[in-house]
Chain A
Amino acid sequence: MAGANFEDDEILGKAYDGRLMRRLLVFVRPYWRQLAVAMLLLFAAAAAELAPPYLVSQAIDGPIAARNPAGVVPIFGLYILALITAFACRYGQTYIMQSTGQQVMVDIRMRIFSHIQRMSLAFFDRNPVGRLLTRLTNDVDALNEFLAQGMVALLGDSARLIFVVITMLVLNWRLALISFLMLPLMVVATVFFQRYMRASFRAVRQRLARINAYLNEQITGMLVTQLFNREGRSRARFDELSDDYRGAQFGVLMAFALFFPTVSFLSVAATVLLLNLGGRLVLGGLATIGMLVAFIQYADQMFGPIRQIAENYNTLQSAMASSERIFRILDTQADVTDPAEPQALPQPVRGEIELNNVWFSYDPAASDESPTAETAETRPSADNWVLRGISLKIPAGQSVAVVGATGAGKTSLISLLARFYDIQRGAITLDGIDIRALRQADVRRHIAAVPQDPVCFSGTIMSNIRLHNQQISDAQVRRAAEIANAAPFIERLPGGYNYIVRERGSNLSVGQRQLLAFARAIAFNPEVLLILDEATSSVDTETEMLMQAALGRLLHGRTSIVIAHRLSTIRDVDRIIVLHKGRVVEDGSHEELLTQRGYYYRLYQLQFAEQMSAA
């Protein structure tokens, strides 16, 4: 997955956006108790970490100066106590903060995922899988980094800085003021380098993304490069990109190579100032030598948080950009929605389907996003209707085959019956009720579509048949597999129903996947079944026969609409509907249509003549 996201979509917005922040805080609010505890621990740790330098000064000015070796022991004891307190508080705080952060991430990820689940298919047509995945992974991660690390660091470091400053002022305000002399320089240097580093890092990321994109394209298109003797130019181009990248890397290197020596120089300079000016105070009796030693350490403790705060500006900025993108997804309204007051289907559901003057186009004017070049090409524009006024009545229990040339609107018809999209004009009813008046889940519980490309998920055979529906028992799954003729091949697999199916079902053949899809349809047992039965070239004869037999059983006694490609199916159904350019041109039984000698007659000759001669 690491390489999958090459788009250097770096929206660099402002580092702080109050509106986004408030929306983000909604996710954090349920955990305010944990956060409060973590904050307390954070302050306690910061306070405990202040003790050691002070204790050292006490030891030097007290027992050591008084030549009393035994006097060091109680101070040592306090020192250890401070250490253990700091350790416990810091560990506790990190643990609470990080695990709460993880919980918040789970919440956010679930919100996004659930939201996406409720989107209609048009949304998935618009948003490529890769983009949705990036929202769910990279963007959520950026938020995590900010919430669990950035925010804590910002608060923690600010607290630490303030604590140190106050302690120093309280202990010896003269020495404190001397220590603060280098502070402005340190802040200026840090802010300057932070800015420089941010720019260099951005350059590195962009150029790396460019290399990745180029490399990806080159690897995928290697054959073309080799066949056209382009190796030399590819090499030159790669070297160019690689050189750019190296240049950017040197930028980062320079930033580091300058920054760290500068910081250590400034820290020595702070010590020198303390020795010179503070030394005079010691000589003048205005400070003790132990205090001076302690302040040398305090000065160092001051510089760390400044750098951390500057660094966390970055996480804040990318978190804002990520949350912007996440909220854009969350703010998208579904195109197909459940009605406010859904009607209930009269029980039992009979499965009578009626289409009344249905007009449909994929390109509704209501679309909130303009279609991409790709969709515009594969789809008609708004005036190009896919379905043009279709009226049909399919009585309960009737099996219907829909035939027609590519682009006639067959697949769209199936998608509409499952209410994957909403129609622009007309009405589709199930048992006399408009499917838009029903809940989508109810429609699909009774009208199930078996897709053309048999989809398999990683899991087991069992989980592929019943999906994650817990109401379907193991026995029902087995029964369904038997009806679908899938049982014989499943039982031959190692592990049978527990055979591990890999991603996209890559360890099953196309025929096996199709049989599983049939078994799935039977297991869910809908009153109305929609089947996209595309011709599958890569299926052996035996599987082909099994599939035909299974299909016959599937159709039997159930309202079913099949996009048919097999002769046997066409012969088995009660009725055939011929679609041509979004209209019903012929409607009747196989024999009736053949005698008409019209469109179906010729289509039949074209598509089925060979099967007929083969059979």
Chain B
Amino acid sequence: MEHLRHVLPFVARYRKRLLLGLLCAAGSAALTALIPQILRTVVDELNAHGVVAADLIRAGGLMLLFALVDSLFRFGQRRFVAGGAYLVEYDIRGALFRRLLTLDQGFYGNAHTGDLMTRVTNDLSAVRQFLGPGINSLMTAVLFISTAGTLLVRTNGTLALLVLALLPIITLLFVTIGGRMQRIFRSVQDQFGDISTRAQENFSGIRTIKAYAQEEDEIRVFLEENERYRAQNVRYVLLSGLLWPAIAVVMGLISALVLLVGGRFVASGTMTLGDLVLFNTYLALLSWPMVNLGWTVNLYQQASASMGRIAEVLHRQPAITSPAEAPAQLAIGGAIEFRNVGIRFDHALAAEHRTLTATGSRPTIEEPPSHADRPAAEGWVLRHISFTVPRGSSLAIVGATGVGKTTLVNLLARVRDPDEGQVLIDGHDIRTLPLDELRHAIGYVPQDTFLFSVPLRENVTFGRPDASQADVDRAAEIARLSNDLNQFPDGLDTLIGERGVTLSGGQKQRTAIARAVLRDPAILVLDDALSSVDTHTAAQILAGLRDVMQERTSIIIAQRIATVKDADRVIVLHNGQIAERGTHRELVQQGGRYAAMYRRELLEAELTEE
């Protein structure tokens, strides 16, 4: 429950605002309490008929003046307290996003997008609700209740004690009914979640449902689900419908008691009529602070739980970080060496799984893949992998789906670190290099092309926002993106993504290639980056790349041999090992896996020629 301590450092910056807010609250409480006092005097004077018009005007003027100043205080209190809460929310949101930017794929592999989003939005808003309206009401309630309480006691002790003893019932009612409402509401929401899951499954699996003519049965089951939801809701309504009428009836009871007891006092002359009116007026003014106290208790509970979830992200340490004392590194040249590298299973799967689900823009709440399809979790995806890629040369990696090609090249940009062995660039273990320098040196074209919903140009210049028009044109030319530009309404400035133009798979891949090429990297990594590009264009792109990459190191993962056959060397991954290595020519002559793949591809080409 003391998760809220995590919020203190953020609040501390605004303690002056809080203090000012508190002052305003005190001023407002005092003035609010004073106005009924004037009312009492006037009523007594009216009752005694000992008043002239001028007295009424003077009293009225005073009340208006107090009310005006009170309004200013109230305005100030809201501005300072609730405004401060928005500032705190802004700061925490920024801190959360900064933290998200540093976290590694190991974290993202296990986190659901939807869950992370909830923490940044809903949870944060719960914290702000407590800090703003919550603290605001708390201040008002405490200050006003104590001021009004004191004044009531001074007016008539017996009646005041009666009122003050009964008023907390309202707070109690709110806390108990409100708390139970929240619990039931959660099960209502769960039930609602079931409804939307049911509908979502139905819509996504509609082919199967139609294939077996199950529509009517689906409707029946959906109705049952809806009926359950309705039943839960009715349970909720039984309680929520009770809350306000119950509070009203308690308030009314207290007023009635004040009338009964106070009326007798007035009738017997121990109290004036003005005092009775004063009690009535204070009662009306006290009801809201009493309710608000209860509300604040509930807000506190929610905020505390939410802050706990926020703190989990905020205090999460990234697994991949820049070394504390990085060497004064010269420009990265690009000689790569993998030395006895080993990667264990579970991490790899998480990372790979992530890239698989990252394709859509909708958040995917994925279960981790079942254990049935993979070997023992403790096993190795790849082990004892050693190879070198001299500066300026190219390496191709081939192998079956799921063999670990992506996982292997991911080590280079430290998307993750190996569990065994070392990756070296220019003879330095990459873990000793400054992370941003390392990544600056790499142009990466991932397997699943992720583009942002911004204009095409911004996607191309993503890694080099200050690139000149000439450079952008050149990169677009090399990636053969230039051919397609006239298809887009605004050329390079066309907005893409959900709100803009949808690109084809090939166009996406070519954009990603242009994005990587524009960085002019020392090392270029193409992870199956030409799979949706037709053979002819792929050849053109590769030829263009060869020109640029003469001085650069490149690593190409591909399914098609045609894409890799010009690489300086090729490695074939199989069963967690390098099964074959050599040039295209050597491997074809060896007559192993690589040669078989090549034969197959030639046949396929022949077939599609028709």
Chain A residues closer than 8 Å to B214, beta-carbon distance:
467-469
Smallest CB-CB separation from A87: which chain B residue?
A: B249
The proximity string for B residues 249-268 relative to A, scoring 1 for CB distances below 8 Å and 0 otherwise, is: 10011011001100110111
| Inter-chain contact A238/B97, CB cutoff 8 Å | yes
Given known contacts A3-B363, A110-B226, is B211 in contact with A222 (CB within 8 Å)? no
Q: Could you say which residues of chain A place their CB within 8 Å of the CB of B267?
A: 63-64, 66-69, 71-72
Interface size bucket, A side?
35 or more
- Whether a CB of chain B sits under 8 angstroms from the CB of A333 is no
Q: B87 at interface (Cβ–Cβ under 8 A)?
A: yes
Q: Which of A89-97, A555-563, A565-573 contacts B (4 or more CB under 8 A)?
A: A89-97
Complex contacts, B237 vs chain A, CB 8 Å: 94-95, 98-99, 102
- Complex alpha-carbon distance, A243 and B245, angstroms: 41
Please determine whether B367 and A86 come into contact, CB atoms closer than 8 angstroms. Answer: no
* Stretch from B50-58, B171-179, B387-395, B556-564 forming part of the interface with A: B50-58
Interface of B is mostly: helix
- How many Å lie between the Cα of A503 and that of B213 in the bound state? 21
Q: A3-B363, A72-B263 are in contact. Are A223 and B249 (CB under 8 A)?
A: no
Is A503 a contact partner of B197 (Cβ separation < 8 A)? yes
Among residues of A, the one whose C-beta sits closest to the C-beta of B497 is A217
Q: What CA separation (Å) do A268 and B607 show in the bound complex?
A: 90
Given contacts A102-B233, A265-B68, are A289 and B46 in contact (CB under 8 A)? yes
> A479-523 vs B: 1/0 string, CB under 8 Å?
000000000000000000000001110111111100000001000
A43-78 toward B: CB 8 Å interface, digit per residue (1/0)? Answer: 000000000100110011001101111011101100
Task: Indicate whether A216 reaches chain B with its CB closer than 8 angstroms.
Answer: yes
| Contact status of A72 and B260, CB under 8 A, knowing A118-B215, A509-B370 | yes
Interface 9-residue window, one of B115-123, B161-169, B296-304, B335-343: B115-123
Question: Given A52-B252, A117-B215, does the pair A222, B108 have CB atoms closer than 8 Å?
Answer: yes
Do B415 and A606 touch across chains, with their CB atoms under 8 A apart? no
Contact partner of A510 (CB less than 8 A), chosen from B56, B373, B462, is: B373
Q: B206 within 8 Å of A by Cβ?
A: yes
- The docked-state distance in angstroms from the alpha carbon of A114 to that of B10 is 51
Q: Is the CB of A106 within 8 A of B266?
A: no
Which A residue's beta carbon lies closest to that of B227? Answer: A106
Cβ contacts under 8 Å, B589 to chain A: none
| Complex interface: stretch among B439-447, B476-484, B547-555, B568-576 | B439-447
Q: Which residues of B sit under 8 angstroms from A218, Cβ to Cβ?
A: 97, 100
Most buried by A among B202, B215, B436, B465: B215
CB closest residue in chain B, given A537:
B401
Give A450 to B114 CA distance when docked, in angstroms: 32
Whether the Cβ atoms of A280 and B53 lie closer than 8 Å is: yes
Question: Which residues of chain B (112-170) have a CB below 8 Å from chain A?
Answer: 113-114, 116-118, 120-122
B215 and A4 form a contact (CB under 8 A) = no
The answer to whether B46 touches A253 (Cβ under 8 A) is: no
Q: Which residues of the other chain, B, contact A470 by a CB distance below 8 angstroms?
A: 217
Q: Is A279 an interface residue (CB 8 A)?
A: yes
Complex Cα–Cα for A271 and B453 (A) = 58
Interface positions, chain A 100-143, Cβ under 8 Å from B, are 102-103, 105-106, 109-110, 113-114, 116-118, 121, 124, 129-130, 132-133, 136-137
Q: Is B470 an interface residue (CB 8 A)?
A: no
Selected interface stretch from A167-175, A226-234, A359-367: A226-234
Q: Among residues 206 to 243 in chain B, which have CB atoms less than 8 Å away from a CB atom of chain A?
A: 206-223, 226-227, 229-230, 233-234, 237-238, 240-242
User: Contact: B197 with A283, CB < 8 Å?
Assistant: no
Report whether B94 and A114 are in contact in the complex, using a CB–CB cutoff of 8 Å: no
Distance in angstroms between the alpha carbons of A153 and B266 in the assembled complex: 39
A91 near B114: Cβ-Cβ < 8 Å: no
| Chain A residue at minimum C-beta to C-beta distance from B366 | A506
Q: A326 an interface residue at 8 Å Cβ cutoff? A: no
Assembled-state Cα–Cα distance A499/B453 (Å): 42
Inter-chain CA distance A60–B264, complex, in Å, is 11
**19 intermolecular pairs with C-beta atoms under 8 Å apart:** A2-B117, A4-B363, A52-B256, A72-B267, A94-B245, A118-B215, A132-B203, A215-B121, A217-B361, A218-B97, A218-B100, A219-B108, A219-B363, A221-B358, A227-B413, A246-B87, A449-B207, A503-B197, A511-B373
User: Besides A91-B241, A216-B117, 15 other CB < 8 A contacts?
Assistant: A4-B362, A56-B280, A73-B260, A83-B252, A87-B245, A99-B230, A137-B195, A220-B358, A227-B444, A228-B444, A234-B97, A235-B97, A261-B71, A279-B51, A450-B211
**9 cross-chain pairs, A with B, having the tightest CB-CB distances, nearest first:** A509-B372, A468-B217, A261-B71, A94-B241, A228-B463, A268-B67, A506-B367, A257-B78, A3-B117
